[in-house]
Amino acid sequence: MSTYTATIRWSCSGEGEFAKGRYSRAHEWAFDGGAVVPASASPDNVPPGTADEAGIDPEEAFIAAISSCHMLFFLDHARREGFVVDSYVDEAVGIMEKNADGKIAVTRVTLRPRVVFSGDKVPGADDIARLHHRSHEDCFIANSVTTEVTVEPR
């Protein structure tokens, strides 16, 4: 079993603004390796002027976590099969809407990886589809959520 941690820090600025709902949603995520990431609520979900658009919102982080996990497995599976990956770029998209229970949720995530290979052994379309399928099956994050996750290799 593994344990993962993140420290989320927020403090109120602006006297009296909290009770009015006009407080800043900007905060930070700190991780055990020392990385500190600016974060915020999505500007789509809070009153105007209360989000920090430069900060990563939880919805973006959720999509990025799924995409990153899938990529890491893809790279490992490709390497084990003797393929050389030069680059991997995924322009992942998540859709937030009402789910079957009427609750707002990220209901779909589409991964759109563009992978460039080199070397003597270059995968064909069937190889790439198999690598993505195995990666999706193995991805810890995709296995942890009920969101439909699809992969559309580019």
Note the pLDDT tens digit of each residue in 45-63. Answer: 899 989 999 999 999 999 9
Q: What is the pTM of this model?
A: 0.89
> pLDDT tens digit string along 139-150?
999 999 888 888
The domain covering 1-56 belongs, at the CATH homologous superfamily level, to: K homology (KH) domain (3.30.300.20)
Q: What is the CATH number of domain 58-151?
A: 3.30.300.20
The distance from CA 88 to its chain's CA centroid, rounded to whole angstroms, is 15
Within this chain, domains 1-56 and 58-151 share the same CATH topology: yes
**Distance between the two ends of the chain, CA-based, in angstroms?**
35
What are the strands of the beta sheet with 36-39, ordered from one edge? 6-9, 27-31, 36-39
